[in-house]
């Protein structure tokens, strides 16, 4: 994580055709390239949930990416919630909720 001294954390829930389209794998690759920590997982209701933590610009880059998703995704909504930083420095794919 680089840039400013501030660290932010955002939780996103992405709706649409977002499972079975390599959303999690691509999200992990994008997050690592952006230098953010956190995780991504499929939820049983068909949405994808992710948490991004790090430099504000990098986190916003990931939130913006979630609004598009990978090429095969069809994103219809993204709910974003601010959270207190928890110290996540690496990014990983998690199992179902």
Give the catalytic positions in this structure: 24, 42
Q: Tell me which residue of 49, 40, 58, 36 sits closest to 77, measured CA to CA.
A: 49
Residue 28 phi/psi, 5-degree rounding, is -60, -45
Residue 37 pairs in a beta bridge with 53
């Amino acid at each position: 994580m680089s840039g400013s001294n501030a660290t932010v954390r955002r939780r996103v829930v992405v709706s649409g055709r977002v499972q079975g389209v390599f959303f999690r794998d691509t999200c992990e690759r994008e997050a690592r390239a952006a230098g953010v920590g956190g995780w991504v997982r499929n939820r049983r209701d068909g949405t994808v949930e992710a948490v991004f933590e790090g430099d504000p610009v990098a986190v916003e880059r990931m939130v913006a990416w979630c609004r598009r998703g990978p090429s095969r995704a069809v994103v219809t909504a993204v709910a974003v919630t601010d959270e207190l930083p928890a110290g996540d420095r690496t990014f990983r794919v998690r199992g179902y909720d």
